[in-house]
């Protein structure tokens, strides 16, 4: 036994690791400036063993060799100790709990830091992707929607399909917890009902206009929406609108008037429906401000879609129901076939819901100024692509009028965004 002990001691003495010993001050690890480790459920208990908590210490250190201070090690030899000295703070139980599901954590400069996600490292790239998907889905929706109206001109029923597919999507998302459904009570239902009614009216009237005239012309008329918003703010809500904001709307009115006078696809049904849509969406904005809640935008939009569906069903049944049952469905199936007809209805509903949801998610990521520019550029994209895809012929005056209207919307949006930013800064200064 004595010989065995002496042999072991001799090996330790002659070994290059002879200077390894326990310390309560620092940990020195060679060639290591940054240590990454992972906590998994299986290794959680071993990680907790390094905690300074009393209950874990007794379980892991039966011989009492370690104190409540962090466990530390000191270099392999004197040369390496001088070359590299890195503190290795002991992981706390809180860090272990936070990272128990496998979240990668970096230990640097004595602090445990969760590694950044892709979105945190490249925010501009992610925001740009959101804008691209918003525009892309919007353009695809408008193109498919108009193509359906070419062989199935029933905008009230199509509006219902848009909402039915969207509601089904929301229900499936809630069932899998993406997102988790927020509860709704009677008070919130009362607040959201007028918002949903205006949403339903504006949505149906937009589709009536799309079915009656060219997509580009409908979007040109809908460029007047800022004018209705300003008028409602001034005369309904009692907010004072500066003269500069009113003047910026003059090009919008002039441009839309020029485009309407010479638009080849002009008819009163398309024009009046687009104007009603503008009014409805204006009041939707007003009621939305009154219905502001702590609920996230995804859940709010889902509830609005569900309530709006009930408002859209009656006119679709009473106005278009008899025609649909008599020859509407039969003619559409005869022209394109049952599978394509059902497929087109499904995809326009899916694209409608996704582009609206992406628009909400995108606008939450950017400043008001970027929001304003994004809305204007979206309308330019839709008008441009619809003209190219459908080959709509427009007169020179219509083209000039559309450009003037879009430019006016851009100026109005920039001025309003700057005003909102100044109000926000003033509020922050007053609070501080």
Please indicate whether residue 307 or residue 134 has the higher confidence score (pLDDT). Answer: 307
- Residues of the chain with pLDDT > 90, as a percent, come to 27
pLDDT recorded at residue 104: 45
Residues 336-346: tens digit of each pLDDT: 999 999 999 99
State the average pLDDT over residues 116-131.
76
**116 pLDDT higher than 90:** no
**75 pLDDT higher than 50:** no
* 106: in domain: no
Residues 93-115: tens digit of each pLDDT: 444 444 444 444 445 455 555 56
Indicate if the alpha-carbon torsion angle 297, 298, 303, 305 is positive or negative: positive
Residue 238's domain comprises 155-330+393-430
pLDDT recorded at residue 54: 41
State the average pLDDT over residues 130-155.
91
Please indicate whether residue 374 or residue 427 has the higher confidence score (pLDDT). Answer: 427
* 148: in domain: no
State the average pLDDT over residues 246-259.
84
pLDDT recorded at residue 44: 42
pLDDT recorded at residue 94: 44
* 316: in domain: yes
Q: HEC profile for the chain?
A: CHHHHHHHHHHHHHCCCCCCEEECCCCCCCCCCCEEEECCHHHHHHHHCCCCCHHHHHHHCCCCCCCCCCCEEECCCHHHHHHCCCCCCCCCHHHHHHCCCCCEEEEECCEEEECCCHHHHCHHHHHHHHHHHHHHHHHHHHHHHHHHHHHCCCHHHHHHHHHHHHHHHHHHHHHCCCCCCCCCCHHHHHHHHHHHHHHHHHHHHHHHHHHHCCHHHHHHHHCCHHHHHHHHHHHCCCCCCCHHHHHHHHHHHHHHHHHHHHCCCCCHHHHHHHHHHHHHHHHHHHHHHHCCCCCCHHHHHHHHHHHHHHHHHHHHHHHHHHHHHHHHHHHHHHHHCHHHHHHHHHHHHHHHHHHHHHHHHHHCCCCHHHHHHHHHHHHHHHHHHHHHHHCCCCCHHHHHHHHHHHHHHHHHHHHHHHHHHHHHHHHHHHHC
pLDDT recorded at residue 17: 42
* 123: in domain: no
pLDDT tier at 201, thresholds 50, 70, 90? very high
pLDDT recorded at residue 342: 95
- Specify which residues 108 forms β-bridges with: 111
Residues 263-282: tens digit of each pLDDT: 667 788 999 999 999 899 88
pLDDT tier at 414, thresholds 50, 70, 90? confident
**320 pLDDT higher than 90:** yes
pLDDT recorded at residue 154: 96
> Mean pLDDT: which of 48-57, 207-216, 218-227 is highest?
207-216
* 303: in domain: yes
Residues 353-379: tens digit of each pLDDT: 998 888 877 766 776 556 666 777 777
pLDDT recorded at residue 65: 44
pLDDT recorded at residue 32: 40
Residues 380-397: tens digit of each pLDDT: 778 887 888 877 777 888
Q: What is the pTM of this model?
A: 0.65
* 160: in domain: yes
pLDDT tier at 331, thresholds 50, 70, 90? very high
pLDDT tier at 74, thresholds 50, 70, 90? very low
**CA pair distance 259, 409, nearest whole angstrom:** 15
* 287: in domain: yes
**319 pLDDT higher than 90:** yes
Structural domain tally of the chain?
A: 1
* 32: in domain: no
- Residues of the chain with pLDDT > 70, as a percent, come to 69
**28 pLDDT higher than 50:** no
């Amino acid at each position: 036994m004595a010989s065995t002990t002496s042999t072991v001691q001799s090996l330790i003495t002659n070994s290059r690791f002879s200077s390894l010993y326990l310390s309560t001050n620092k940990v020195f690890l060679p060639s290591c400036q940054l240590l990454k480790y992972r906590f998994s459920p299986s290794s959680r208990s071993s990680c907790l063993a390094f905690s300074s908590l009393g209950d874990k210490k007794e379980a892991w250190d039966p011989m009492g060799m370690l104190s409540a201070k962090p466990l530390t090690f000191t270099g392999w030899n004197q040369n390496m100790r001088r070359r590299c000295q890195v503190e290795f703070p002991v992981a706390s139980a809180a860090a272990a709990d936070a990272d128990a599901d496998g979240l990668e954590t970096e230990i640097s400069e004595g602090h445990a830091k969760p590694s950044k996600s892709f979105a945190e490292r490249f925010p501009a790239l992610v925001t740009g992707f959101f804008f691209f998907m918003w525009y892309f889905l919007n353009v695809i929706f408008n193109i498919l929607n108009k193509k359906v109206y070419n062989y199935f001109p029933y905008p009230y029923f199509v509006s219902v399909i848009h909402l039915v597919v969207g509601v089904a999507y929301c229900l499936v998302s809630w069932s899998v917890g993406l997102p988790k459904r927020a509860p709704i009570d009677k008070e919130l239902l009362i607040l959201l009902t007028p918002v949903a009614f205006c949403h339903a009216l504006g949505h149906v009237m937009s589709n009536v206009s799309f079915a009656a005239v060219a997509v580009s012309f409908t979007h040109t008329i809908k460029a007047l929406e800022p004018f209705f918003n300003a008028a409602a703010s001034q005369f309904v809500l009692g907010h004072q609108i500066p003269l500069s904001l009113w003047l910026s709307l003059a090009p919008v009115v002039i441009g839309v008037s020029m485009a309407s006078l010479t638009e080849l696809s002009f008819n009163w049904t398309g024009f009046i429906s687009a104007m009603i849509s503008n009014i409805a969406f204006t009041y939707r904005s007003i009621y939305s401000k009154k219905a502001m809640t702590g609920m996230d935008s995804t859940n709010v939009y889902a509830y609005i879609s569900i309530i709006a569906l009930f408002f859209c069903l009656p006119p679709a049944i009473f106005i278009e129901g008899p025609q649909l049952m008599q020859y509407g469905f039969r003619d559409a199936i005869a022209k394109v076939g049952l599978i394509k007809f059902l497929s087109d209805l499904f995809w326009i509903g899916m694209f409608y819901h996704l582009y609206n949801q992406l628009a909400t998610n995108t606008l939450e990521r950017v400043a008001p100024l970027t929001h304003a520019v994004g809305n204007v550029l979206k309308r330019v994209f839709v008008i441009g692509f619809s003209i190219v895809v459908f080959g709509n012929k427009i007169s020179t005056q219509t083209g000039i009028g559309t450009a003037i209207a879009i430019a006016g919307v851009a100026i109005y949006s920039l001025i309003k965004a700057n005003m909102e930013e100044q109000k926000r800064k003033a509020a922050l200064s007053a609070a501080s």
